[in-house]
Every structure is written in C-alpha cells, then in structure tokens.
C-alpha cells in the first residue's frame, strides 16, 4: 500500500490478457488499494487503474529483490517497486495464470464471477445460492458464480466438517443440512485464514500450497480420518481430486467417479469392507503366483 509501481515486466507475452490500456500506463502510479475479487487479486492504482492477477492452480506470487531477473520457464511477469519485485510464476506445463490491466470500476466488475462471499453471509443467503442450480455439493461450493473464492482443498474440508457427501445433490439437501453446511463453511474459512495469517507473522508467504498439515481429509488419501480413524478416500478427476471420509460423510459407501464406474460396473467395491476384501484377495493371488 502506498508504494509506487515502477514498471510491469513480462517474461511471456501470453500472461497479459488485455491490450488497452497498455502496461506502460501503470508505471509511476502508487498502489491505492488491495482487494480480492473471487480468486483474483486486485491492486488498485492511482487514477482508477486496476491490476488483476489470477493465479489459477499452479500460479504463485514471490517477493524478490528489486529488479529480480525473470529466469527459467516458470517466471511469467514482475511488478517492480523500489523495495522489491512482486514476481508471478507458474510451475504447470499449461500456463493458465493471467494478468489484466483495466480502467475503472465498471471494467473491474466484468471480472467478478458474482459468487456469494461466505464470510459475513447468513444461512438464508447461503442456502439460496446453494440451490440456485442443481449440482453436487462439491461442484456447488467450488463454482465461483455461486460462492466466492472456495477452492478444491477447502471444499473438501468444509464437506468433512459438515458430515456431508461431496456427491450429494443441492436440490435434495434439507434445511438443517444446508444450515450445517453454512456453519461448517464459515468455521473452516475463518480457522484457516487465521492460521495462515499467523504462520506468515506479518511477512510474505513463501510456502503456498493446497496441502496443509492439520487438514482433515484433503491430500490425506489412505491416511486415517482424524475423527473416526478410517482411511481417507478420494475420487480422481481431470487434474484434481476430491477427498472424503466414507464413514463420516457417506454412511460407509465408497464413491466412484464416472469413468471408473463405467469400467468396473458391478465390480466396484461399495464399502470399505469390500475394498479391503478385494485387496486381500489380490495379495493372495500375487503370493500364489
């Protein structure tokens, strides 16, 4: 806040998603405000200009020495200040992180997906957003048009806290379940925001990851659920995964993604007991061979 942006340097021309105004117009303007727009980070500059950064999954912001060199395949851009350089990197093969420069609040609003900010919302507004479209709870929580800024990791944690299946449909959720989900979402987001801020201690966050020590289910496939001790399960899809506890969330039933369900059909194990039995038989066959 209050620091003068000296320049925006681009290591890749593809990271910049706008052509007007030109990035040169941002040079020499002070940062007048900082805000979050869904999952986008917004730097407000003097004169009504806004720098919008969307990190996507693999994007990261690093604080480096002034004029830091943009070396390697991961470096995409740098925002130069007298005190240091804010460097945007992305480790993924497919570069999806982006940077926009727009003028005025009206143009900025075009980048707002419109989802409800859960923190500060009441249970009624939350339930209304939840039921706006008929989706699974996992998809609804991570839809930026419905809820603002909830990603894959924290949706898993919220659903575990609420004791709800990630594949339950929003249209079939009772009022009590919707209220419980709202309470879980508020609690999880508040707890982890406070925890991550405390870890930074007022400094710049150096280790940004979706897999955190202390999470109940996300990234803990095969490890014991902290509440019941049963192994955490997961559904793998596209470039992501959904982690859950079958005992706490699905009444002991194992969930299968569509491709596995079509492939295995009736052979898909329905419960943890079925899964363990199949593993045992597989080990016995391997030993016999």
State the average pLDDT over residues 211-236. Answer: 91
User: Is the pLDDT reported for residue 279 higher than 70?
Assistant: no
State the average pLDDT over residues 231-249. Answer: 87
Choose from 168-177, 248-257, 279-288 the range with maximum mean pLDDT: 168-177
Residue 114 in any domain: the answer is no
If asked whether residues 226 and 145 sit together in one domain, one would say yes
Residue 117 in any domain: the answer is no
Query: Tens digit of pLDDT for each residue in 141-157?
Result: 999 999 998 989 999 99
- Average pLDDT, rounded, for the chain: 87
Backbone angles phi, psi at 217, to 5 degrees: -130, -35
User: Is the pLDDT reported for residue 227 higher than 70?
Assistant: yes
Query: Tens digit of pLDDT for each residue in 38-93?
Result: 899 999 999 999 999 999 888 999 999 999 999 888 999 999 999 999 999 998 87
Tell me if 218 sits within 8 A of 153, measured CB to CB: yes
CATH number where 23 lies: 3.20.190.10
pLDDT for position 150: 92
Pairwise CA distance, residues 111 & 143, whole Å? 15
* Confidence bin at 262 (pLDDT 50/70/90): very low
Which of 140-154, 172-186, 204-218, 264-278 has the weakest average pLDDT?
264-278
Tell me if 10 sits within 8 A of 36, measured CB to CB: no
Q: How far is CA 193 from CA 43, 129, 197, in A?
A: 20, 22, 6
User: Is the pLDDT reported for residue 243 higher than 90?
Assistant: yes
Residue 235 in any domain: the answer is yes
CATH number where 220 lies: 1.10.8.50
Torsion region of 67: left, alpha or beta (phi above 0 gives left; psi -120 to 50 gives alpha): left
Pairwise CA distance, residues 86 & 66, whole Å? 9
User: Is the pLDDT reported for residue 196 higher than 60?
Assistant: yes
If asked whether residues 53 and 130 sit together in one domain, one would say no
Q: How far is CA 247 from CA 203, 224, 230, 256, in A?
A: 40, 11, 7, 15
Residue 249 in any domain: the answer is yes
Task: State the Rg of the chain over Cα.
Answer: 22
If asked whether residues 43 and 17 sit together in one domain, one would say yes
Q: How many domains are there within the chain?
A: 3
How far from chain centre, in Å, is Cα 94?
17
If asked whether residues 164 and 238 sit together in one domain, one would say yes
pLDDT for position 260: 47
* Confidence bin at 175 (pLDDT 50/70/90): very high
Name the pTM for this structure: 0.84
pLDDT for position 271: 53
If asked whether residues 85 and 140 sit together in one domain, one would say no
If asked whether residues 26 and 73 sit together in one domain, one would say yes
pLDDT for position 281: 56
State the average pLDDT over residues 158-165. Answer: 97
If asked whether residues 129 and 205 sit together in one domain, one would say yes
If asked whether residues 67 and 152 sit together in one domain, one would say no
101 token code pair: 């420069």
Pairwise CA distance, residues 40 & 61, whole Å? 12
End position of a domain, from candidates 109, 131, 162: 109
Backbone angles phi, psi at 180, to 5 degrees: -65, -40
**At which residue do the structure tokens 């690093």 appear?**
62
pLDDT for position 264: 42
Residue 118 in any domain: the answer is no
Which residue range forms the structural domain that includes residue 272?
262-289
Pairwise CA distance, residues 71 & 75, whole Å? 6
pLDDT for position 117: 94
State the average pLDDT over residues 96-122. Answer: 94
Residue 246 in any domain: the answer is yes
If asked whether residues 213 and 244 sit together in one domain, one would say yes
* Confidence bin at 241 (pLDDT 50/70/90): confident
Nearest residue to 41 via CA among 92, 97, 82, 107: 97
């Amino acid at each position: 806040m209050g620091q003068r942006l000296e320049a925006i340097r681009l290591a890749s021309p593809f990271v910049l998603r706008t052509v007007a105004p030109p990035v040169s117009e941002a040079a020499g303007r002070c940062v007048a405000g900082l805000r979050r727009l869904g999952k986008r980070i917004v730097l407000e500059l003097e004169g009504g200009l806004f720098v919008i950064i969307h990190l996507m999954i693999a994007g990261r912001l690093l604080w480096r020495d002034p004029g830091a060199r943009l070396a390697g395949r991961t470096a995409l851009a740098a925002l130069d200040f007298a005190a240091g350089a804010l460097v945007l990197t992305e480790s993924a093969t497919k570069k999806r992180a982006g940077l926009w420069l727009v003028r005025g609040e009206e143009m900025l609003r075009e980048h707002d997906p419109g989802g409800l900010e859960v923190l500060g919302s009441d249970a009624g507004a939350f339930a209304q957003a939840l039921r706006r479209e008929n989706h699974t709870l996992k998809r609804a929580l991570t839809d930026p048009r419905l809820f603002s800024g909830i990603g894959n990791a924290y949706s898993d944690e919220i659903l575990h806290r609420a004791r709800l299946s990630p594949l339950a449909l929003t249209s079939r959720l009772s009022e009590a379940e919707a209220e419980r989900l709202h309470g879980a979402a508020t609690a999880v987001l508040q707890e982890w925001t406070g925890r991550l801020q405390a870890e930074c201690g007022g400094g710049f966050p150096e280790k940004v990851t979706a897999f955190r020590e202390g999470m109940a289910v996300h990234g803990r496939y095969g490890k014991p659920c902290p509440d019941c001790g049963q192994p955490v399960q997961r559904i793998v899809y596209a470039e992501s995964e959904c982690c859950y506890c079958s005992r706490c969330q699905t009444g002991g039933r194992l969930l299968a993604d569509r491709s596995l369900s079509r492939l295995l059909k009736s052979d898909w194990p329905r419960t943890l007991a079925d899964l363990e039995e199949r593993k045992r038989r597989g080990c016995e066959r391997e030993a016999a061979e």
